[in-house]
A and B are shown apart, each in its own frame.
Chain A
Amino acid sequence: MTDLPLLSARGLTKFYGERLGCRDVTFDLHEGEVLAVVGESGSGKSTLLGLLATELAPSAGAVHYRMRDGAVRDLSELTEAERRLLLRTDWGFVRQDAREGLRMGVSAGGNVGERLMAVGARHYGNIRAAASDWLARVEIEAGRIDDTPKSFSGGMRQRLQIARNLVTHPRLVFMDEPTSGLDVSVQARLLDLIRGLVAELGLAVIIVTHDLAVARLLSHRIMVMRRGRVIETGLTDQVLDDPREAYTQLLVSSVLAA
Chain B
Amino acid sequence: MRAAMRDDLPFPRTEVGKETEAYNFAYLDEQTKRMIRRAILKAIAIPGYQVPFASREMPMPYGWGTGGVQVTAAVLGPDDVLKVIDQGSDDTTNAVSIRRFFAKTAGVATTTKTREATLIQTRHRIPEEPLRDGQILVYQVPIPEPLRFLEPRETETRKLHALADYGLMHVKLYEDIARHGHIATTYAYPVEVAGRYVMDPSPTPKFDNPKMDMCAALQLFGAGREKRIYAVPPHTRVRSLDFEDHPFRIQTFKQPCALCGAEGGYLDEVVLDDRGGRMFVCSDTDFCEERRAAGHRGAMAADGDAAGETR
Contacts and interface: CB of A to CB of B under 8 A. Distances in A.
B159 interface: yes
A122 B243 contact: yes
Chain A facing B: main interface SS: helix
Interface stretch (B63-71, B171-179, B289-297): B171-179
A76 interface: no
B95 to A, nearest CB: 36
B235 interface: no
Given A110-B174, A113-B171, 19 more contacts: A80-B159, A80-B163, A84-B163, A103-B150, A106-B150, A107-B175, A107-B179, A109-B174, A110-B175, A114-B168, A114-B171, A117-B171, A117-B174, A118-B168, A124-B174, A124-B243, A124-B246, A125-B245, A127-B174
B8 interface: no
Contacts of A115: 167
B165 A122 contact: no
B159 A118 contact: no
B184 to A, nearest CB: 13
Contacts of A255: none
Nearest to A125: B245
Nearest to B241: A122
Given A80-B159, A146-B178, A146-B179, A114 B167 contact: yes
Contacts of B165: 81, 84, 118
A47 B10 CA distance: 60
Contact of A122 (B170, B171, B175, B178): B170
Max count, chain B CB within 10 A of own CB: residue among A81, A84, A110: A110
A123 interface: yes
Contacts of A107: 175, 178-179
A125 to B, nearest CB: 5
A110 B169 CA distance: 11
Contacts of A113: 171, 174
Interface string A102-138: 0100110110011101111011110110000000000
Interface in B208-247: 243-246
Contacts of B150: 103, 106
27 contacts: A80-B159, A81-B165, A84-B163, A84-B165, A103-B171, A107-B175, A109-B174, A109-B178, A110-B171, A113-B171, A113-B174, A114-B168, A114-B171, A115-B167, A117-B167, A117-B170, A117-B171, A118-B165, A119-B167, A120-B167, A122-B243, A124-B174, A124-B244, A124-B245, A125-B245, A128-B178, A146-B178
A122 B170 CA distance: 8
Interface residues of A, number: 23
A107 B180 CA distance: 13
Contacts of B178: 107, 109-110, 128, 145-146
A178 B309 CA distance: 73
A81 B163 contact: yes
Interface string B132-174: 0000000000000000001000000001000101011011001
Interface in B170-213: 170-171, 174-175, 177-179
Interface of A: 80-81, 84, 103, 106-107, 109-110, 113-115, 117-120, 122-125, 127-128, 145-146
A118 B244 CA distance: 15
B3 to A, nearest CB: 54
Contacts of A123: 243-245
A146 B175 CA distance: 8
Which A-B residue pairs are the 3 nearest by beta carbons? A118-B167, A117-B170, A124-B243
B158 to A, nearest CB: 12
Contacts of B159: 80
Contacts of A109: 174, 178
A242 to B, nearest CB: 47
Contacts of A103: 150, 171
Contacts of B167: 114-115, 117-120
A84 B167 CA distance: 12
A122 B168 contact: no
A124 B172 CA distance: 12
A95 B246 CA distance: 33
A128 B246 CA distance: 13
A124 B183 CA distance: 11
A84 B159 CA distance: 11
Contacts of A110: 171, 174-175, 178
Given A122-B244, A124-B245, A106 B175 contact: yes
